[in-house]
Amino acid sequence: MSQRLATWKLLCAGISSLILVMGIARFAMTPLLPAMQAATGLGDDGAGFLAASNYAGYLSGALFASRLRDPLKKLFYFRLGIVFAVLTTAAMALSDHVIIWSVLRYFGGLTSAAGMVIGTAIILDHLKQRHRPDFIGIHFSGVGLGVVLSGTVLTLIEPIMSWDQGWLLVGGIGLLLALPCLFWMNVHNLNTAPAAHADAVSMRSKPILFLLISYGFAGATFSIGTTFIISIMAQSPSLSDSRNLAWILLGVALAPSCYFWMRSAVKLGDFRALTLAYLLQALGCALPVIWPSTASALIGGFLFGACFMGIVTVVLALGGKLSPHNPSALIGILVVSYGVGQIVGPVLAGIAMEKTGYSEIGLWSAAACSLLSIVTLAGSRCPGDKPVEENCGCLT
């Protein structure tokens, strides 16, 4: 695969990789979780542990991926991740032991990093060479398309297939998605990334510290919401019938959200755009428990899906804006902060839900973390109308 591929083939490979590693390997467990809990006795605390294992895998994989500079090594680990995404997904059907599941979810998280971090880096480098970096929004639509695909398929087969058959089915779909990833992704004409510039934004500055704390709460909101939203709805008589449609609507909203929030950040400023996104995200999490109904479940799922990946996109873009000579340093620590929130959030929420017997506490805690993101983000705002400057670290 040494020849230059058409842009549409590269985008197809990138979108397919995100559908596989995010929509299936990472998020298929959300619609499958109620059936897994009913059939195996898995508790909310165990479900939280599985989610934490998956996010720990993503965090460690993202940190490893951020150190890769050689394009050929990037391609090798990307392809390895694609293969393991299929294998770890299908293997979930072969056991009902939480320890084995947690190991598989950890490696599934590693594969998510291969697609989301390494694959995205390769695609972005190609798009920059072709003077079409704006096409990266098309690439990120794969996450939402993956949620829609897995959610729709698992909803349709729910009455006729068991949870383990569901895992095998989405694993088979993943195998088909792996083909364009393996054959159409290449690193032709891509160069080794330069060494980081010594002049970087101070990680100890007040605005950066508040940004990191705010983003950590965002990670907790994301992981709690995507882990428990369907299982919580399944336990509510007024929400159970609409839970899978809410998940599908989440994916529909997610697909264009990255482009929408990046445009919003340009027009409103990063601070205002993030504040609005966090507020809508909190509303999306809380709405189904404030007003338990089919309409609230669908609106809540749509709002949540419309925000969480957009927040990630805007914040990571700040890594390049606030530290243009060394974006990997700031992006790396942002990934760590988000990852810590992803790991701690579902564990604490799952324990609280199990101990209190009040499942709705999961969505309440997700909404609370999103509001805490707004509170802590205020500490990173530039005073007055001061513009964002290199090494300043504050947000407009």
Tell me the percentage of the chain whose pLDDT exceeds 70.
Answer: 91
- Fold agreement between 1-193 and 194-396: yes
Q: What is the mean pLDDT of the chain?
A: 86
75, 187 Cβ separation under 8 angstroms: yes
Phi, psi of 381 (to 5 degrees): -80, 140
**Token pair of 162 as six digits:** 């068991």
Predicted confidence band of residue 336 (pLDDT cuts 50, 70, 90)? confident
167, 90 Cβ separation under 8 angstroms: yes
Give the mean model confidence (pLDDT) for residues 295-312.
89
Q: How many other β-carbons are positioned within 10 Å of the β-carbon of residue 343?
A: 24
**Token pair of 386 as six digits:** 């001061």
Which of the two residues, 240 and 144, has the higher pLDDT score? Answer: 144
Whether residue 318 has pLDDT greater than 70? yes
Q: What distance lies between CA 174 and its chain's CA centroid?
A: 18
> What is the rounded CA–CA span in Å between residue 17 and residue 174?
9
Query: In Å, how far are 78, 225, 226 from 220, measured between CA atoms?
Result: 27, 8, 10
pLDDT tens-digit profile of 351-371? 888 888 887 888 899 999 999
Question: Where exactly are the structural domains of the chain?
Answer: 1-193, 194-396
> What is the rounded CA–CA span in Å between residue 231 and residue 217?
22
174, 25 Cβ separation under 8 angstroms: yes
Give the mean model confidence (pLDDT) for residues 189-198.
59
pLDDT at 303: 93
pLDDT at 182: 95
pLDDT at 198: 43
pLDDT tens-digit profile of 37-67? 999 999 888 988 998 899 899 989 988 887 8
**Token pair of 21 as six digits:** 């590693």
pLDDT at 354: 84
Report whether CATH 1.10.4190.10 matches the domain 194-396: no
- Side-chain-side CA neighbours of residue 218 (13 Å): 33
CATH number of 1-193: 1.20.1250.20
